Structure formats: C-alpha cells, structure tokens
Chain A
Amino acid sequence: MPNLLPARATQQRLAIKKVASGKSFWGHARYVLSDNPFTLVAAGLFTLFVLMAVIGPWIAPYDPLATNVGPTLQPPSASHWFGTDSLGRDILSRVVVATRIDFVIALSAVLASFVIGGLIGACAGYFGGWLDRIVIRLTDMVMSFPLFVLAMGIVAALGNSVFNIIIATAVVNLPFYIRVARTEVNVRREAGFVEAARLAGNGDARILLLHLIPNAMPPMMVQVSLNMGWAILNAAGLSFIGLGVSPPAAEWGIMVAEGATYIISGEWWVALFPGAVLMLAVFTFNLLGDGLRDLIDPRRRT
C-alpha cells in the first residue's frame, strides 16, 4: 500500500523531466527561474522581510512606541533615516517593528482558510450529494459580497480586534480554497489509485487524508502564495480605515492613516515610508506567488 501514493509522484517527476530535459526538480526550478529572474529577487526580499518580522524589535534603532525620541515631524536625516512623526517617534523603527504584526495577521488568516477551506472542500468533493450542494451554496453566498466590504462587516460585527481581523480575512478567503480543494478531490474521486486504496480496505478518512488531499496540495499552495499579498493589503486596509490594530501600535496601515493628515501640508515622509514598505511586501508576495505557480503548475503560466 505505501506505494500507491508515490505512483503519482513518479509520474509527475517524469513529466517534469520531460520539460527540463532529463534534470531533477532543482534543474526544473533553475529552468523556470532563468525565464523569470524576478522570482529570485522576490525570494531575497522575502527572506529580508521574514528576518525583519522575527528580529525586528532587536534591530530597530529606537523604541517604536517611545515619543519624543527626536524633534516632531523631522524630515529624514542621519539619526532618523525615515524621519519622525507628529509625536516625535522614529518612523524607521516603527516600520521595522510593524512587519511582524502584519505578517502574523496575513499568515494566520491564510493558514486558517487553507486548513479549514481545504478540509471542507475536500469533504464536499469526496462525498458529494447534499453536503456538496450546501457547501457550494454557502461559498456562493460569501462570494456575492465584495470581499473587502464583507470583511468590514465581519470586523464591525465581531468587534474591533486583531483576532477578528484574522477571522474576517480568513472567512472572506475560504471560498477560494474550498473551490480549489473540491475540484481537485472531485476529479480524482474515481481514479484508479483511489479505487485501489479503497479495495485495500482503507476508510474514507484515510483515503481523503493520505491519498486525495496530498494530490490537491500543489494548486492549494499556489493559491496560498497568491493570497498572501492580498491578505496583507486587506489587513492594512482595514486598519487604515480604523478597524483592527489600534494606535499607538505600529502597523503599516495605521501609520499611513496617521500620515494622511500631514501629506497635504507637505510632510510626506510620515505616510510614504510605511506605505512604500507595505507595497514592497505585497509586491514580493505577488512575484513569489507567480514564480511558485510557474514552478508547480506550468499550464497556468501567463
């Protein structure tokens, strides 16, 4: 029995080999990357961001919450690279420290919708029948809302907290994961290796978890990486309009909102730096997502 799953893996490897003309997975990776060098840049940036999220508080030059570490509303200078805000806080420190909260929100939201959506979708695709119909109906219902508006409504109803932002972002993304998992499981439900596993005496749960869900992983992973950038945008957008993370905490969306009042009077640095870093983070994820998609699912390459 342990050989039923690797059968497909071998098949996939064969297919990859054909593309990369006799090379291994890494050969294929190199082949795909050489076509799109941006992915490498994105991988470098991604490492940088992860590093910032992990050790941010230790490398920030000042305390991100301490006021009056410098004169208020100072333009960028040698001692304050990104300048200071209206309370005299160091913007560079705040931008660096904010990485963690934004990444935690996006990552946990995406992870939650990945796990929950994957399981629901897989069950719906595998069992079919009324369960499938209900799941489809529910996803359709969620998708008939503009996503950001629904997220707003959820946070407004549940209450204003970081945890609820994560829930809202996860709920809004659920339908996409459910759909991917459902189709992936559905097309293989009657496949030979599934029948074989069934004949060998495996239960439904075992077949789903060990034979079908692993096969749905590649497109699900692509969905995850394409989704991360959006999740960060969503979280920052919600805090920009005053939901979720609340001041004085350092978070990119809030910092841009705080800077919005000053931009009209010419103090551009208050909003520019957090906004630019946020943009770079989303850009990184989008590039990485495209790269990963090229790597895993060449047919969808555009």
Chain B
Amino acid sequence: MLLIAKRLAGALPNLFGIVLITFLLTRALPGDPAAFFAGGAGSQEAVEQVREKLGLNRSLPEQFWIYVKDLARGDLGQALSTGQPVGAEILSRLPASLELVLASLLFSVSIAIPLGIAAARRPNSWIDHACRLVTTAGVSLPTFFTGLLLAYVFYFVLGWAPSPIGRLDPYLSPPATVTGLYTLDALIAGDVKLFFAALRQMVLPVLTLGIFVLAPLARMTRASMLSVLSADFIRTARASGLSTTSVLVRYALRNALLPVVTTLGMVFSFLLGMSVIVEKVFAWPGVGSFALEALVASDYAPVQGFVLTMAVLYTLLNLAIDLLYVVIDPRVRLGS
C-alpha cells in the first residue's frame, strides 16, 4: 500500500510538467494567444474579450496560476464551434476512445505474446521468420493506410464488415450508460445482439491499431524470452522433469514479462497518438476526432484540452504499468 502511494506521489511532478507544457504551448509562443482562443475568424472585440477573460494582460506566472485554478475546477475553456464547455465534451467522448484503445491493447497483447514465445522457442524456424516479418512490417504500416485498406477489403469487396462509420449502426440505439463502453454496457444490460453489433463496428479500427502496436510487443517478447530460455534455472527446471508448459509459462514467461511490460509504456504512447488517426478514418466519435474538428476550425481550447487529456491518460496508464511491476516482480515489492 505504501509502495502504491509512493508511485502515485512520483507521478505528481509528471502531471505538473504536463500542465506546464500545455500552458506554455499556447502562451509562450510567438503570436497572440488571445487571437488563438478567439478562433480564426474572431473580431477585434472578441479578441479583446478573450484577452480580458484569460487574464492575458497579466504576468506569465499569474496567468499560469489562473490556468491551474481553472483546471482544478475542471474548466478547460469553451469550444467556439459548439459553445459547449470543452471539459464536458471531452468527458462524454472519452469512453469511445478508451474502448478503442483498450480493445486494441487486449488484441495486440493476446496475439503478440504467444507469437513472441513461439518464435523464441524455435529460433530461425518458420514461425520465427513469420514473427520477424510481422514485426518489421507492422511498425512500417501507416495506420491511416491500413485502416483504409481494411475498410476497402472487408467492407467494399467482401462485405463482411459493417459500414466503417461510427460506433454503432444508426438504426440501433446505444445501451444504457454504465461505463460508457458500448460492448461492456450491452453485456451489463444483457443485450447480446447489441453487444455483437458494437463489436462488429469495432473490429476494423481495433485491427488497424492492433497490428501497428503488435510489432514492438512481439519483438520484445521474443528477445526477452530468448535470453531467459538460455538461463541456467530453465535448464534446471527442465532437468527436474517439469512439463514444457510449466517451464515456459511459470518459469520463463514470468521472468521475461518485465521488459515486455516496460514496452507497454511505449505502446500506449503509440496507441493514444494513432487513435486520433484511426478515429478520423472510421468516423469514430472519440476525443481525437473532436480535437480534429476543432483543429480544422482553428478552435484552440479543445485542442489544448485534448493534448492535456491524452497526456494525463498516458501518465495514468504508465502508473498502472508501474503497479503491474509490483505484481509481477517480487523484487520490486520486497526491495523497496
């Protein structure tokens, strides 16, 4: 428990850094931030009004203080295009993005780890070569291109996938909101048909994101399994007559998992970044597409809110990874 508290406290400077950078991104740059926030077509009075409201006529530290105070109240400013507060808008769209990111993570982990293990068990076999091909090709794929390609093949040519637009067929109504994740909510509501409808919409975007992040995970699993499998204790375990599965999973995998978990941090960075592109390709109503709509309209407050949200999310996910370490590696638990 103490350890968890320590890790939480360790994330605080990071959070401060994130807030500082998002603040600096708008205020310390050349150009007039008031004009930014008033939008591209803002009139002279609108610009002055924004300047007054944001306190841009005060000193930089003072402005930062105001910004932090606003943030503490959950105030991320107003979106010009909709007139809605940015915070509320992001919060209502966040589950859609999260559903996408988490499902992609689940997908890529469940493919990458078995693939990496299989490749490490028989180096230079066909499965090892397949693994190498997948990993090198996977990181080279532009997500927007894979997404379009998948949509073309599975929607236009084969007709297997539903129309690649949005989270749910327009004729269906979303399940009652509990978590905001349509698939989970449908299950909670006991509506299996709705669950599959939501799942079908998710398949292509999840594949697109998943293929991209599969590569670093599989690569790391393979490399780390290879080094663990050549260790003495594995030989000992084998010599003691333990079954192959037991040696692989309970002895090797658990030791090999640490670097893989570290790679998860990088994978999250990719996932969160690329989700913006995938949301655009599949018209997915998440925070990324919200930011993009605002970007097109030169509406800066939503973009700033989006950058901040993603960074905070990323920090939280990294924190979760840190905690996962504690679970996997007793040395971390006992050592500190």
Q: Does B274 interact with chain A (Cβ within 8 Å)?
A: yes
Q: Does B306 interact with chain A (Cβ within 8 Å)?
A: yes
Interface of A is mostly: helix
A148 touches B273 (CB 8 A): yes
Residues of chain B from 1 to 41 with CB closer than 8 A to chain A in the complex: 13-14, 17-18, 20-22, 25-26, 29-31, 36
Q: Does B141 interact with chain A (Cβ within 8 Å)?
A: yes
Most chain A CB neighbours (cut-off 10 Å) among B149, B296, B306:
B149
Q: Does B56 interact with chain A (Cβ within 8 Å)?
A: no
Instruction: From the candidates A146, A153, A272, A290, name the one contacting B22 in the complex (CB within 8 A).
Output: A153
A275 touches B310 (CB 8 A): no
B272 touches A146 (CB 8 A): yes
Residue in chain A with minimal CB distance to B29: A157
A256 touches B145 (CB 8 A): yes
A264 CB → nearest B CB, Å: 6
A272 touches B149 (CB 8 A): yes
Measured CA separation A208–B49 after assembly (Å): 52
What are the 3 A-B residue pairs with the smallest beta carbon separation, nearest first?
A148-B273, A275-B145, A141-B17
Binary flags per residue of A147-176, CB closer than 8 Å to B gives 1, else 0: 111111110111100000000000000000
A150 touches B136 (CB 8 A): no
Number of cross-chain contacts by CB at 8 Å: 155
Which residues in B have some Cβ–Cβ distance to A below 8 Å? 13-14, 17-18, 20-22, 25-26, 29-31, 36, 136-137, 139-145, 148-149, 151-152, 155-156, 163-164, 219, 222-223, 226, 268-274, 276-277, 280-281, 291-292, 295-296, 300, 303-304, 306-307, 310-311, 314-315, 318
Please give, as numbers and ranges, the residues of chain A lying within 8 Å of B21 by CB-CB distance. Answer: 141-142, 145, 150
Please give, as numbers and ranges, the residues of chain B lying within 8 Å of A282 by CB-CB distance. Answer: 139-142
Given the interface contacts A263-B152, A271-B148, does A156 sit within 8 Å of B303 by beta carbon? yes
Measured CA separation A145–B141 after assembly (Å): 22
B138 CB → nearest A CB, Å: 10
Instruction: From the candidates A145, A156, A266, A302, name the one contacting B314 in the complex (CB within 8 A).
Output: A145
Binary flags per residue of A118-151, CB closer than 8 Å to B gives 1, else 0: 0000000000000000000100111011111111
A263 touches B140 (CB 8 A): no
Interface size on A, residues (CB 8 A): 49
Please give, as numbers and ranges, the residues of chain A lying within 8 Å of B300 by CB-CB distance. Answer: 156-157
Given the interface contacts A141-B20, A144-B17, A145-B307, does A157 sit within 8 Å of B151 by beta carbon? no
CB-defined A-B contacts under 8 Å, sample of 25: A141-B21, A144-B17, A144-B18, A144-B314, A145-B307, A148-B270, A148-B274, A148-B277, A149-B272, A149-B273, A149-B307, A149-B310, A153-B25, A153-B303, A156-B303, A240-B142, A241-B295, A242-B292, A242-B296, A257-B144, A259-B148, A268-B156, A271-B148, A278-B145, A279-B141
Please give, as numbers and ranges, the residues of chain B lying within 8 Å of A150 by CB-CB distance. Answer: 21, 307, 311
Please give, as numbers and ranges, the residues of chain A lying within 8 Å of B31 by CB-CB distance. Answer: 159
B136 touches A283 (CB 8 A): yes
Given the interface contacts A241-B292, A275-B142, does A283 sit within 8 Å of B137 by beta carbon? yes
Measured CA separation A158–B295 after assembly (Å): 12
A271 touches B268 (CB 8 A): no
Residue in chain B with minimal CB distance to A230: B139
B152 touches A268 (CB 8 A): yes
A154 CB → nearest B CB, Å: 7
Please give, as numbers and ranges, the residues of chain B lying within 8 Å of A141 by CB-CB distance. Answer: 14, 17-18, 20-21
Residues of chain A from 249 to 285 with CB closer than 8 A to chain B in the complex: 253, 256-257, 259-260, 263-266, 268, 271-272, 275-276, 278-279, 282-283
Residue in chain B with minimal CB distance to A268: B152
Interface of B is mostly: helix
Please give, as numbers and ranges, the residues of chain B lying within 8 Å of A287 by CB-CB distance. Answer: 136
Measured CA separation A44–B303 after assembly (Å): 42
Binary flags per residue of A81-95, CB closer than 8 Å to B gives 1, else 0: 000000000000000
A237 touches B29 (CB 8 A): no
Measured CA separation A265–B137 after assembly (Å): 27
Please give, as numbers and ranges, the residues of chain B lying within 8 Å of A146 by CB-CB distance. Answer: 268-273, 310-311, 314
Measured CA separation A157–B291 after assembly (Å): 13
B152 CB → nearest A CB, Å: 5
Measured CA separation A229–B307 after assembly (Å): 24
Measured CA separation A149–B270 after assembly (Å): 9
Please give, as numbers and ranges, the residues of chain B lying within 8 Å of A229 by CB-CB distance. Answer: 139-140
Additional A-B contacts beyond A141-B18, A149-B273 (4; CB < 8 A): A141-B20, A146-B269, A151-B273, A236-B144
Given the interface contacts A145-B18, A240-B277, does A256 sit within 8 Å of B144 by beta carbon? yes
A282 CB → nearest B CB, Å: 4
Please give, as numbers and ranges, the residues of chain B lying within 8 Å of A283 by CB-CB distance. Answer: 136-137, 140
A147 touches B223 (CB 8 A): no
A256 touches B148 (CB 8 A): yes
Q: Does A225 interact with chain B (Cβ within 8 Å)?
A: no
Measured CA separation A276–B140 after assembly (Å): 10
A262 CB → nearest B CB, Å: 10
Residue in chain B with minimal CB distance to A237: B277
B140 touches A256 (CB 8 A): no
Residue in chain A with minimal CB distance to B155: A264
B225 CB → nearest A CB, Å: 11
B291 touches A152 (CB 8 A): yes
Please give, as numbers and ranges, the residues of chain A lying within 8 Å of B310 by CB-CB distance. Answer: 145-146, 149
Residue in chain A with minimal CB distance to B22: A153
